[in-house]
Amino acid sequence: MTQTSETAAVVERPAGGRGPARTRVHRAWFVAAVTFVTIIGAAAFRSVPGLFIDPLHDEYGWSRGTIGAAVSVNLALYGLTAPFAAALMDRYGIRRVVAVALTVIALGSGLTVWMTAAWQLMLCWGLLVGLGSGSMALAFAATVTNRWFTERRGLVSGILTAASASGQLIFLPVLSWIVDRYDWRPAAVTVALAALAVVPFVWLLLRDHPADVGQKPYGAKEFVPKPAPVPGAARRAVTVLFSAVRTGPFWLLAGTFAICGASTNGLIQTHFVPASHDHGMPITTAASLLAVIGVFDVVGTVASGWFTDRFDSRRLLAVYYALRGVSLLFLPMLLAPGVHPPMIFFIVFYGLDWVATVPPTLALCREHYGDDSPIVFGWVLASHQVGAAVVAFVGGVARDAFGSYDVVWIASGALCAAAALMALVIRRPAATVAAVA
């Protein structure tokens, strides 16, 4: 049995050296598959906020601004936890951190069935699920990609990013049907069970580093020893942040990603269903449209990973944000009681562009910040979630104040145009320029 120097695939020949060689798939792809399934399980809660706004408003009389505030706490903690989670993975290992995070998500979602006051919504939705999902954020995908892959990093990061959309695709229609037919509480329990169901897969199948199984990273030419645990996880996350904020690319990446979060998780994922319901569309139909976004998000994100391996990431980001902004400007004219072709076009288009921004953003972090890129990306992701949190709250307040979401759609479209310009002025690292020359 021999191991190739380029792809680290294992080639086995039958006894006597006769017959075709059999190639065993590199362990990195199994780790990526487990990571994909894990992110899907954690993504179940991402389907919930838009479905619960109207039921909670009707049952408890809470304003949409109050409910949006709980969602904003969740989104902000989701982002702010990510860089510390990346550092904790360096200290304690991916498997332990992810297993604990899934358990916390299940606890927070399960406890909501007994809540009777708005502060309990903040505690369960905001604090517990925010902390748990933050530890399962895209920094998890970045860490797995960096450790297990040397080649195909853009493609793998695109696939793992698409896992969140796949979770939305799987859970949105089911959860909307449960909410419509029964109540929001069985849907919350379903989310908790989905998170718990993934824990055994993580504990039994996920490994922290290729060296744990005696393999090289996929595409590596040399064996990479497992680094020693890094003490002071929180201190390292803050130290990396202080170093990154002294550079211009960090602020541009953080700014563009904040607008990305504002126009996806904060806006469409949180407010599309209630906004469609305002125009007479059934909740199940609106949720199904969000699920269709999930279908095309998988296609768009994987394709974006492929493009990122081949094209300038800055130009890709500019195109993605510009097209997203244009589509948002048309959305107020498309909302109606039923589904019509222009709305289908918007859903398909927005799905392709949903988080296609992640692979090029992650690639730019890697180019500029090297081994610290997972933690830097965690802080950039924090800005993504802060942007999402602001719009989740402001969107609810705007609906209470103006009776519609129109001003929010238009303002978000303008922000996307600004993000496109910001992406174009990100400088290229000196090493990349030299390599191209």
Which residue segments constitute the domains of the chain, with CATH numbers given?
24-208+227-430 (1.20.1250.20)
Higher pLDDT, 183 or 233: 183
Please choose, from the candidates 239, 209, 82, 91, the residue with its C-alpha nearest in 3D space to the C-alpha of residue 145. 209
pLDDT range class, residue 416, cuts 50, 70, 90: very high
Whole-number pLDDT of residue 147: 80
Residue 255, pLDDT > 90, answer: yes
55-113 pLDDT, tens digit per residue, is 888 888 888 778 878 877 877 787 777 777 777 777 788 888 888 888 888 888 888 88
**AA identity, residue 109:** S
Whole-number pLDDT of residue 369: 86
Higher pLDDT, 277 or 428: 277
Whole-number pLDDT of residue 233: 65
In the three-class reduction of DSSP (H, G, I as helix; E, B as strand; rest coil), residue 336 is classed as: coil
Average pLDDT, the chain: 80
pLDDT range class, residue 414, cuts 50, 70, 90: very high
Higher pLDDT, 39 or 323: 323
Residue 149, pLDDT > 50, answer: yes
How many angstroms separate the CA atoms of 135 and 96, rounded? Answer: 11
Residue 391, pLDDT > 80, answer: yes
Whole-number pLDDT of residue 168: 67
> Mapped to the 3 state alphabet, what secondary structure does 315-328 carry?
HHHHHHHHHHHHHH
**AA identity, residue 178:** I
Average pLDDT over residues 122-137: 80
Residue 9, pLDDT > 50, answer: no
Q: What is the DSSP letter of 220?
A: -
Question: Who contacts 396 (Cβ-Cβ below 8 Å, separation ≥6)?
Answer: 53, 63, 64, 65, 66, 67, 68, 69, 271
CA 361 to mean position of chain CA atoms: 12
Please choose, from the candidates 69, 118, 109, the residue with its C-alpha nearest in 3D space to the C-alpha of residue 392. 69
15: its two tokens = 């006894």
Sign of CA dihedral 354, 242, 238, 386: negative
